[in-house]
Structure 1
Amino acid sequence: MNMALVGDIGGTNARFALWNNDRIESVQTLAAADFPTPEQAVIHYLSTLGLAPDSLSDVCLACAGPVSGEDFRFTNNHWHLNRTTFRQALQLDNMLLINDFTAMALGMTRLREDERIQICPGEPESDSPSLVIGPGTGLGVSTLLPQGNEQWKVLPGEGGHVDLPIGSLREAALWQQLFGELGHVRAEDILSGSGLMRLYRSICALDNHAPNLTTPAEVSTAALAGDPIAEEVLQLFCVWLGRVAGNNVLTLGARGGVYIVGGVIPRFAAFFQTSGFASSLSSKGCMSGYLKGVPVWLVTASYPGLEGAGVALQQMLEPA
């Protein structure tokens, strides 16, 4: 496969790289707000490398949101992408548009040992699915399926929108508080950056504390400094993530392992390692034994979405 372009586009930033000789290079992050269209962002990126808009024939873009049809409208920025218009603007032979968590899942096939921290020990079953789950702007969930011959298939879904599971009386009281605010309470309503703040405010309201923290970073910093309210917030966040991840392992038979991704958990990785995540993951009553031995890793790689976009493009153009 010739040199290609890969992109990982979220609500705020667009990351671009060249896919060359089975690896990414020349990574740049651009603010979506600085460009009226994704085509112009790509043309700007190429120009910084001294490349003309028509210098590449193949592109894969990983985009946040459901991907189907001719048109794609980005959920959290002003960009709109029409496949035909985009291909014509860059004179492309091949354009692949995939969900951002599909790319994230494929990126797990490229991890080095120093790009992940083991949270739960175990041996992955090589022919079983793996779960990829990560709190960020929302809660992303995907399933990675081995196909043999170093080929992979991803089952995208909307697992972040499942109902928030309750496992204790304290959680039930908090759920009632959240239900009064939201009505339907989804996992993503807690397991995301904004969800961390919602959980903090709910605990303060339930226990009659005045909330004095205003950002997720402030909550995590206060928790690590020993603030008891913030510490409970972070602990419950980890416990709920474990419970949701464990439910997914049971549903999918994901004995290939669990990958924790996204930008939230790495900010408090040491806390996460000793939190209630592992126990809540495996506390499934009569099925608790099924979760024993399923390995869990916290992913610390810098650009797994870009890596995954490259893998997706390569699998399309060079099938086994």
Structure 2
Amino acid sequence: MNELAGETGLSLVADIGGTNTRVALARGPVVDRATVTRYANADHADLGAVLTEYLAETGVEAGQITGVCVAAAGPVHDGVAKLTNLDWRIDRATLARALTAAKVAVLNDLQAQGHAIGNIDAADLDTVIPQPEAPAHATKLVVGLGTGFNACPVFDTEGGRFVPPSEAGHVSLPSCGGRMSALVEAMLRDHGFASVEEVLSGRGISYLHRVLHGQEAQPSEIMQRMGAGDAQAEETGAALVEVMGTVVGDLALSHLPFGGVYLVGGVTRAVAPHLARFGFTDHLRNKGRFSGFMEQFGVFVLRDDYAALTGCASHLARL
């Protein structure tokens, strides 16, 4: 039996992606990383089957779990999650029946990342723009670039932390002249709509490269060539960072995150080494007469791949 099983306040947390689900045990806001297990979604009929297998493997009985929180890669409405790239439906009632837990929560995966802020080891945060002094309760902003794109503010209030859901990846891509206007025109031609996610995501890197150079290439290949100094890949990277900086700057003006902007996700971690040389800060702050105002927002890259699990545990601990 897992050593945590005999302790009170044992929670189960899960991070559900389109391909894999990661499950772990937690006590309070702390995830026991030794218990993290990954499952292929294709091998399971639903989340209930995953959780049943996990409990059997760990030797923990369902009745020992006092709280459960899952983060799902898809919209969450009234406690119901419908995954974007997986035919699973997840709701609080189903989880409560499966685990008989007193505290149950369903979050969007980016909401979970927001709940993790403040519980991440400083070693897992890389500074892109230093954070000016700000009150501890100042609004924060989490921006995720991975399979898709999303962003959500983090509010610390007298009543507790509030991280509202969002589908920010599907808003219109700004057209600011130059290559961004040309990109929007190409997206309108190819897709009928120019959304942020169609550029700021894994598939977006490939699309951006195709628009610029007329060539098909996988995101990993483009990033590898960029690191090797390939001229075409470098141009793609520069365009990606321009769009990224512009969009993050727009979001910062919308939410005023004086407590900092936190960039998360696989695409973020891949492009992070190139942000400075491609002028991310200049693009973020390029807001006309409000350019000076933008200097109040620090920016960090979160490298903790377990942040969503930590966020689930932190959210449960506050309930």
Give the TM-score, by structure 1 length. Answer: 0.91
Once the two structures are TM-superposed, the CA of residue 235 in structure 1 deviates from its matched residue by: 1.3
The residue that corresponds to 1:264 in the other structure is 267
Give, in whole Å, the separation in 2 of the partners of 1:9 and 1:301. 16
Q: 1:166 to 1:37 in 2, by over 3 A?
A: same
- Which of 301, 313, 316 does residue 316 from structure 2 map onto? 313
Once the two structures are TM-superposed, the CA of residue 58 in structure 1 deviates from its matched residue by: 1.5
Secondary structure at the aligned position of 1:54 is classed as: helix
Give, in whole Å, the separation in 1 of the partners of 2:166 and 2:78. 17
Tell which deviates more after alignment, 91-100 or 221-230.
Answer: 91-100
The answer as to whether partners of 1:64 and 1:75 remain within 8 angstroms in 2 is yes
Which aligned runs of 4 or more in structure 1 are off by greater than 6 angstroms?
none
The residue that corresponds to 2:146 in the other structure is 136
Once the two structures are TM-superposed, the CA of residue 269 in structure 1 deviates from its matched residue by: 2.6
Secondary structure at the aligned position of 2:316 is classed as: helix
- Which of 22, 45, 50 does residue 54 from structure 2 map onto? 45
Once the two structures are TM-superposed, the CA of residue 132 in structure 1 deviates from its matched residue by: 0.6
The question of 1:68 aligning with 2:77 is answered: yes
Secondary structure at the aligned position of 1:140 is classed as: strand
Give, in whole Å, the separation in 2 of the partners of 1:124 and 1:159. 28
Once the two structures are TM-superposed, the CA of residue 216 in structure 1 deviates from its matched residue by: 0.5
- Which of 12, 24, 40 does residue 5 from structure 1 map onto? 12
Among the aligned pairs, what percent are the same residue?
30
- Which of 231, 241, 244 does residue 241 from structure 1 map onto? 244
Give, in whole Å, the separation in 1 of the partners of 2:291 and 2:89. 45
The question of 1:84 aligning with 2:93 is answered: yes
Give, in whole Å, the separation in 1 of the partners of 2:186 and 2:286. 24
Once the two structures are TM-superposed, the CA of residue 21 in structure 1 deviates from its matched residue by: 4.6
Once the two structures are TM-superposed, the CA of residue 70 in structure 1 deviates from its matched residue by: 6.4
Give, in whole Å, the separation in 1 of the partners of 2:260 and 2:133. 5
Give, in whole Å, the separation in 2 of the partners of 1:303 and 1:37. 22
- Which of 129, 137, 154 does residue 163 from structure 2 map onto? 154
Give, in whole Å, the separation in 2 of the partners of 1:152 and 1:177. 40
The residue that corresponds to 2:42 in the other structure is 33
The question of 1:113 aligning with 2:122 is answered: yes
Amino acid at match of 1:90: L
Give the TM-score, by structure 2 length. Answer: 0.91
Secondary structure at the aligned position of 1:264 is classed as: helix
Once the two structures are TM-superposed, the CA of residue 2 in structure 1 deviates from its matched residue by: 0.6
- Which of 187, 197, 200 does residue 191 from structure 1 map onto? 200
Give, in whole Å, the separation in 2 of the partners of 1:248 and 1:4. 34
Residue-pair matches, total: 309
Once the two structures are TM-superposed, the CA of residue 275 in structure 1 deviates from its matched residue by: 2.0
Root-mean-square deviation over aligned CA pairs: 1.8
Deviations 1:121-178 (A, max 9, x none): 23152243111101111101010112259x4211221222221112332221222122
Secondary structure at the aligned position of 1:15 is classed as: strand
Give, in whole Å, the separation in 2 of the partners of 1:48 and 1:273. 45
Deviations 1:51-108 (A, max 9, x none): 2333313101111222224654322113223443332232232321111111011111
The residue that corresponds to 2:24 in the other structure is 17
Tell which deviates more after alignment, 76-85 or 175-184.
Answer: 76-85
- Which of 277, 283, 287 does residue 284 from structure 1 map onto? 287
Once the two structures are TM-superposed, the CA of residue 30 in structure 1 deviates from its matched residue by: 1.1
- Which of 250, 253, 256 does residue 250 from structure 1 map onto? 253
Q: 1:133 to 1:71 in 2, by over 3 A?
A: closer
Structure 2: runs of 5 or more not aligned: 1-7
Once the two structures are TM-superposed, the CA of residue 212 in structure 1 deviates from its matched residue by: 4.9
Secondary structure at the aligned position of 1:110 is classed as: coil
Amino acid at match of 2:114: A
Deviations 1:206-237 (A, max 9, x none): xxxxx152x10001011111111111111111
